[in-house]
Structure 1
Amino acid sequence: MVTFQDAQFVVIIGGWSNTISALYIEEHIYYYHGTLLNSEYKPYWISWNSYEVSVGLGSIQGSGVILYGQPQCPIKVIDATFASNFGETLDYRVNQAVHSEQHDTKRLLLNDPDAVLNRLRILEEKFAQLGTPTQTGSTYIIWGRKQCPNNTSELVYSGFAGGGGVVETGAAADYVCLTPDPVFNKTSGTDHGRMYGAEYETNFWAKDSHNEDVPCSLCRSSYATTVMIPGTNVCNNGWTRQYYGYLASGHHGHPAASAFVCVDISPEYLRAGSRDSDGKLFYDVIAKCGSLPCPPYVNDYPLTCVVCSK
């Protein structure tokens, strides 16, 4: 637990039996679900200014954000307290110096006001009353990959991209990520709605991608919100990038409607190989100036995309 002067904000790493971390700002609490602590020293960073606080994994400030909050009133940090909880021993490093603390002891980086420790005890009581918070999160699909990004996301399943046929005027518009383990209740239907597999229809995605079948993966992020942003490959400050790549859709000349999805920058292929079976097709998307303002967009440039979480 890290507490700052007058407990303006508190960071808890590996709380609730090492299942949840939290950022406490004023009366607001932000959660991260996942195991973070182990027997080895692990780098974390904490960054703040007057109106925002961020906590991240690693030694590079701004990367791997796991907690983020915005206080209503300006923050003024003078002191910082490190403490363990409920009698546990805490070993930590600050600038490579090793320290060891227990719940009944303290170490302040700059000075040692009693108000900080009193406020810390009050906050501990509040957290104890909260119990284990309800888990939150969000899901997203990474198109063109058989696994989730190597970050805070967990794989729900790895499947097959699919959708309606491109030459069928009544076909469904959406791309879908089909499960690899289908379950059927009936053995026949009316043949009005149809589901096909999907292919990369050009070599835009990679030098040998034409007619290759498209994989996909359903991923769960511990963040409450996940969005796809077309036209860029970077996330706004305070957001975590899950993956980035190029925007895809169907062909504008085909009778079937389509949608826009984000294909990973390094696409993979399914085991079925190149067979030119068509079905649902993935084409790159280019900007067309007119009602689309140029600049900032550039005519005929392929559009990038990014999936971000917070």
Structure 2
Amino acid sequence: MSDDAAGAPAILVEGVSKRFGRVLALDDVSLSVPQGETFALLGPNGAGKTSLIDILCTISKPDGGRAEIAGIDVVKHPLRARRQLGVVFQEATLDTRLSVFENLDFHGMVYQMSRADRRRRIEEMLALVELSDWRDAVVRTLSAGMRRRLEIARGLMHEPKILFLDEPTVGLDAQSRAKIWSYLEQLRASQNLTIIVTTHYIEEVDTCDTICIIDHGKILARGTPEALKAAHGTSLFRVTPRTPQAHAALIERYPGTVEGAEGQLLIKAENAGSADALLAEFGTQLRQVSVDQPSLESVFLSLTGRDLREAPPAAGKKRGRG
């Protein structure tokens, strides 16, 4: 890498746009991510996250604007840019017929690593994700959490500068999710690795350096978790109505209500007396009610009017790729 590239941002995006037919997936998007940062990209389904990551990973080309990875233009020099990247996809992509070692060794060969470098790096990565004792195990015998750790190890085999993680902990139990984030923090601290993550577990990104919220192909807000909470956070009532009738009545009474997971409704607390008013009018019609203090979830709701975990847009209403 040149000296210029070494001093460049890990990621630079300037005026990028992308269209799929009539759908404008990305609309003049610009952002910069410093080296060594953990950067979270949040958005509802169809917000444009996948379109942006596909461009940065050289899977697709922008219709306008430019993007650089470690100072390398992803359109002009896709192969050079790709060597700086590690990618962990949401869907499992391991060869379950091969052993742990064989999956890592094959990845190293794809990146033209020497035999000695592959052996060294395999041992380092297996130690990091605590899979050394499973070196010769066939992947199909591993648990879901172990497979996810192996995919992270594989993404780092060729010593990339930037690691893209698409829903890295989806489907894992809380303990496995915590372990994944622990490994990632160790990596970032020890190797100056830049981590770009998308996730539907909004609580996981509270320790990220920067959070970027995107919707309708546009960046709505960007900043540290604390700055975003201060600027956009609100208190929320999280209520579970007893009946469909109560559900409908609450939505009518509070027009800004957002439907969350598992039948919950998320209602903004307008002022100090909001809780008393809600309980006085609907208390007997609620199965459960709690109050959330200003959080990243309330930031997300304030900016997008949607829940991060909501279902994909209905047919005919798709706004863009996720």
TM-score by length of 2: 0.23
Greater RCO (Cα-Cα under 8 Å, separation 6 or more): 2
Structure index of larger Rg = 1
Structure with the bigger percentage of helix: 2
